[in-house]
Structures are given as C-alpha cells and as structure tokens.
Chain A
Amino acid sequence: MAIQEQRLIFKHIDEPGYTNDIDCYIKHGGYEQLKKAVTMKPEDICAEVLESGVRGRGGAGFPAGMKWKFLDRKSGKPIYLVCNCDESEPGTFKDREIVHQDPHQLIEGMMCSAFAIQAKLAFIYIRGEFFQGYKILERAIEEAREKNLLGDNILGSGYSCDIIVHRGAGAYICGEETGLIESIEGNRANPRIKPPYFPAALGLYQCPTIVNNVETLCDVKHIIELGGKGFAQIGTPGNTGTRIWCVSGHVEKPGYYEFPCSAVTLGQLIYDVCGGLKPGRKLKAVIPGGSSAKILRADERFTGKLKDGTEFDWGIEDIPMDFDSLMAVGSMSGSGGVIVMDDSTDMVEALANINYFYAHESCGQCTPCREGVPWMRKVTQRMVDGEAREEDADLLKNIADQIAGRTICAFGEAASWPVQSFIAKFKDEFVQKAREQAARRKEGKAAATKTTLI
C-alpha cells in the first residue's frame, strides 16, 4: 500500500472536474483568505508568516518571514513583490502545475503577500517556454480584476495593487533573483552582487523588493487560513509546511507528490510512493533537489549530527525528506526535484549532460564561471567522446573547486556542486572510463562507445 499523500498546495491538482477559472476556485472556498487578509493589519500578517517558519521553496530555503523583515521600509521608495515562476532548474516541475491548474491560488497568495508587505505593484516572472501558462495567468488576472480582487481599492480596503505577468525568454539565469530583476528592468539577466544589492533593500528599480517562489507565495494563503502556529504544526520544527517532491528518472511512477516536511524518507518516496525502480534494476544514485544539488550514492552511509544535536546514521533510504536532513547529508532539498538513477546509468555521461546545461547557461560576468564551467563541459564531453584521461577526474574537481565561492551569484556553486559530488562519489567510474578507452584503443578499436545521456 502506497503511503497517502497529504496535499495542501496541490489539493485540487488533477482533481476531476476542477477547472482553472475563478468560479470554480471561489466555489472551493477561494479568495476567502484574501478577504480576511485585507481586514488584518499588514504587520500582523508578516508576523504570522514569520511564526509559520515557512522556508523558501525556490531553492535556498531561506525563511520567508525573515526575508520580509529585511525590507527597507524607511527609504520611502515604493515596494515591489515579484513571484519567481522561472522554474528552470532541471528536475523541477511543480510551479507549472499551480499555474496551469490552480492559477487563482497563486494570485490569492500573491495578493495576501502584497498587502502584507504593502507592495505598490507585483510581477509574475514566468519563463518564456510556458506559453499556455502565460495565457492562463493573463486570463486569471482579468477575472480577479473584474471581481475587484486585484487592481484599485481591493475589496474596498483602500489598498491597490496590480499584477504584471512578465515573460522570460529561455535563459536559466533569470531564475536567480537579481538576474530576474535585471531582466524585468529590460536588461540582460546579469546577476547583481550582494551586498549591496539585496533585493529587500535595493531590488527592482533600486527599490525594496521581495522575490519569492510560486509555491512559497501559495503557502502564504494557507498561513492566513491556519495561522502561523497552525501552519508550523505541519512538518517538524524548522521544516514547516509541506513540500512537493518532483520525482523523475528511473522510477516506475515519476510525478509530483506532496507531503508534510519529514513525513516520508527518500526510500519511501522511491519505493512506496513512486512504485520503485524498473524491473530488475537497482538504485545507483539520487540527486535530491534539482540538478545542481549534490548527488547521493545508493550505498553510502550518512552519519553526523543534526542542528538540534541528535546524531544520525542513515542509509540513503532512511533520509527524511526535509530541508535540514538533506543538508545534513551534504546535499539540499533545493527546488524539490528528485532525480533517480538506477544501475544502468553511466555517471560520466550523466555529468556530461549536466555540465552541458550549466556551460550553456553561465551569464558570463565572472571569469571563473564563464571560463570554468565550459571548461568542465569540454572535459566531460571529450571523456564521452573517447578521449578520457585518467587525470580528468582530478582536473574536473580542481576546476570546480576554483569556481565555487568566487563568483557574483550562486550559479557558480550550482554548476560546481554536481562536478564536486560526482567526483567525490564516483571517481572510480571516471578513471575506469579512461582505462577502458585506452584498452580499446590498444586493440585497434574505437575508443568511444555509444552514449545514451549526451
């Protein structure tokens, strides 16, 4: 028997008969929380969000309430709210479902948040490839405007705020919040250096700006409904609320599954929820939080101490799915994209595939990233092309070590972590590849073999 999901954000996703128009949303109790929110004091909503402990669902897991607290309110400049709907970390596919199937949940969450921070204007930055999603949001916003749920004098509260849907155009770096801000300003999405450009102080148009992920903003609606304390009862302390795990790769039933934080282990998620691996296959590795998260090897033992001091000794299947546990085992829950690989996977090819992505997506501002990431791609590409050298594993690690921590934005880490972790955990396969190719060459055969992942 598969473990039952407990859905909060995805409550109506794929529900038969549920449609994405405003009437259906209202019939299911929609916009009640916004009605409640506009009667509250904005600072009280902020306090509830802080108390809820909700952490950002976009990647970094920073507490949303804390971020909101950093808003520079003294400057007197207008405040902006930006919803990050760029969803482009490979392996992540939750925001698209919210936009396609339940857009009003996002709009309600956004308007509650906008009211709480007293934003003058809100944006949804949606990736360019979401052609349908863009149209759905535009229509949903017009529906909400007709009912005075956004726009001027919302529900007679005296508060006004509009939402502009801004489309990206295929650049991954637009997901990074300061790159995203540059992109809305009409520039190339070159990220800004922090400090001083923390969005909460100097964000969009150099004004205080809050950037939150789609799922985080939806959580705000539920925080108003349940209260900060009530929301914090879902999950565990420090890991509150639910998470939507997007499972892809070599499992029988890939898809999105929502659970309270810590409610399932990685093993339960793979074997019970996703039906396990394909027949006859064994688990080899898992990337638990989008392609930039550090890879976990199936036969590793993970030992150490959690934040609260408790010691743990886990196999891969025992890891509780939440922010802190995945961090404690040296990876991250990131964007919730769980990529599962079975024993048919060639790790060199898998890394070559990942490196191809990051090399293509560096914005080019910082030398270590602009030069280093394509270099790593070149190395893994030649390895799969039959030119692998035994020392390549060390070279890759060396390059990665010189990128992470030396760049303007966290893309440097995002591109280095896969390389560092693949080499730390599967170095033997990288060396083995070079030896096999050398042996084949000696026999007069072609060094390269057919690839499947690149």
Chain B
Amino acid sequence: MNLKPETIEKIDKLVPRYPTVKSAALPLCHLVQEDQGYLSNEAMEWIANRLDLQPINILELVTFYPMLRTEPTGKHHVRVCRTLPCALAGAYQTCKKLEEAFNCKVGHTSEDGSVTLEFVECHADCGKAPVVMVGEDEYTNISPDKASEFAEKIKNGEI
C-alpha cells in the first residue's frame, strides 16, 4: 500500500480523536478510498491492521455503504439523482441524454474508461432539480434540454 503522506497524516490525527478505534473504520475507508480511488482487498486489510480489527470488519462496511467502492471509477464519475423530486423535473430524460452522449449505460463505465455513469438517490437539493454530481462537485438544474451541452463540457474537461 502506497498511501500519500498527507493521507497517513490525516489518519494518524483522526484515529485518536474517537473514543473507540472501531469508530475510525468508516472515516479510514473514506480516506483510503480518496487516496487510492477505490478499496482493494489490500486496502481493506491495511485498514483492518491499522485499527487492530479483522478484514471482515472492513469488508462488511464496504458491502453495506453504497459510496464505498471495490473498483475504480472512470475518469469522470457522473452521478444522476433519480428520486421523485428530480424525476418530476426530468432526471430520467437527463440521464438518457447523458447515456447517449457518453455512449455508456447508466450503472456502467464507458469502454474507454472516461466516464462512470450512475443513478443516485436524493442529494438534498431538490429545489434545484435535476441534480447531477461530477466527482465531488454538484451541478443543479440539469434539465433534459441542457443535458447534451453539459455532457460536452464534461468531455472537453471544462467540468
């Protein structure tokens, strides 16, 4: 495991703040995933070791929490909110347009590895629906008629 020194530093600062080491398991999953892009078996073992836990204690988190991944995403990670308020604003049609633009079905990574397109659930910004996240950034009011242009911007690296 080759974690960046910043990540190690963050981990060393974080663990002693919690009343029990196990509480640091989920935060460590986040930190290691941010560092590595996903959580490999090796990463899970590393976290378990660091906290004196068993690898299964980490695996059971990774298989429970949807944001934890065991595979890397494409270069752009595009998440389209699909729950009712966004759906009422056209989120499913937005997603269709994105599927076409990226040539990638929702729930998959495009063949060239450039995009992972996923549905997600309410991102708590339903007043500006439809909501789409690209990486860690949120974009709002991505109605179906704006979707193709939005996809182009992602492809061009403007987003």
Give the distance to chain A from B52, nearest Cβ to Cβ, in Å. Answer: 12
CA distance A360 to B123 in the complex (A): 15
Could you say which of B17, B68, B126 contacts A90, with CB atoms under 8 Å apart? B126
Q: Contact: B26 with A166, CB < 8 Å? A: yes
Q: Contact: B87 with A91, CB < 8 Å? A: no
The yes or no answer to B83 lying at the interface (CB within 8 A) is: yes
Could you say which of B20, B27, B66, B138 contacts A166, with CB atoms under 8 Å apart? B27
CA distance A341 to B89 in the complex (A): 11
Q: Contact: A128 with B67, CB < 8 Å? A: yes
Q: Contact: A248 with B129, CB < 8 Å? A: yes
Chain A residue contacts of B137, Cβ below 8 A: 131
Give the distance to chain B from A245, nearest Cβ to Cβ, in Å. Answer: 10
Q: Contact: A93 with B125, CB < 8 Å? A: yes
Indicate the size class of the contact surface on chain B: 35 or more
Nearest to B30 among chain A residues (CB) is A167
The yes or no answer to B136 lying at the interface (CB within 8 A) is: yes
The yes or no answer to A92 lying at the interface (CB within 8 A) is: yes
Nearest to B51 among chain A residues (CB) is A186
The yes or no answer to B8 lying at the interface (CB within 8 A) is: no
B24, B64, B92: most-surrounded residue (chain A CB, <10 A): B64
Chain B residue contacts of A357, Cβ below 8 A: 83-84, 121-122
Q: Contact: B121 with A90, CB < 8 Å? A: yes
Chain A residue contacts of B101, Cβ below 8 A: none
Chain B residue contacts of A162, Cβ below 8 A: 17
CA distance A354 to B88 in the complex (A): 12
Interface string of B103-125 (1 = CB under 8 A from A): 00000000000000000111111
Q: Contact: B60 with A91, CB < 8 Å? A: no
The yes or no answer to B133 lying at the interface (CB within 8 A) is: yes
Give the distance to chain A from B156, nearest Cβ to Cβ, in Å. Answer: 23
Could you say which of A95, A128, A172, A255 contacts B127, with CB atoms under 8 Å apart? A255
Chain B residue contacts of A337, Cβ below 8 A: 85, 126
Contact A169/B85 with A90-B126, A95-B124 known, Cβ cut-off 8 Å = no
The yes or no answer to B93 lying at the interface (CB within 8 A) is: yes
Chain A residue contacts of B88, Cβ below 8 A: 248-250, 339, 341, 345, 453
Q: Contact: B24 with A186, CB < 8 Å? A: yes
CA distance A205 to B64 in the complex (A): 21
CA distance A131 to B64 in the complex (A): 20
The yes or no answer to B49 lying at the interface (CB within 8 A) is: no
Q: Contact: A186 with B23, CB < 8 Å? A: yes
CA distance A89 to B123 in the complex (A): 9
Nearest to A96 among chain B residues (CB) is B124
Chain B residue contacts of A356, Cβ below 8 A: 82
Chain B residue contacts of A164, Cβ below 8 A: 17-18
Chain A residue contacts of B123, Cβ below 8 A: 129
Contact A350/B120 with A121-B19, A131-B136, A185-B23 known, Cβ cut-off 8 Å = no
Q: Contact: B87 with A454, CB < 8 Å? A: yes
Could you say which of B26, B93, B124, B129 contacts A183, with CB atoms under 8 Å apart? B26
CA distance A186 to B19 in the complex (A): 11
The yes or no answer to A247 lying at the interface (CB within 8 A) is: yes
CA distance A170 to B26 in the complex (A): 12
Q: Contact: A254 with B67, CB < 8 Å? A: no
The yes or no answer to A168 lying at the interface (CB within 8 A) is: yes
The yes or no answer to B29 lying at the interface (CB within 8 A) is: yes
Q: Contact: A189 with B64, CB < 8 Å? A: yes
CA distance A247 to B88 in the complex (A): 12
Contact A169/B126 with A129-B133, A186-B26 known, Cβ cut-off 8 Å = no
Q: Contact: A452 with B22, CB < 8 Å? A: no
Give the distance to chain A from B53, nearest Cβ to Cβ, in Å. Answer: 8
Q: Contact: B124 with A88, CB < 8 Å? A: yes
3 closest A-B pairs by beta carbon, nearest first, are: A169-B65, A186-B22, A248-B85
27 pairs from A and B in contact (CB 8 Å cutoff): A89-B122, A90-B85, A90-B121, A91-B85, A93-B124, A93-B125, A93-B127, A127-B124, A131-B137, A162-B17, A167-B27, A169-B30, A171-B66, A172-B121, A186-B20, A246-B127, A248-B126, A248-B129, A249-B84, A250-B88, A254-B85, A254-B127, A339-B88, A353-B82, A357-B83, A451-B92, A453-B87
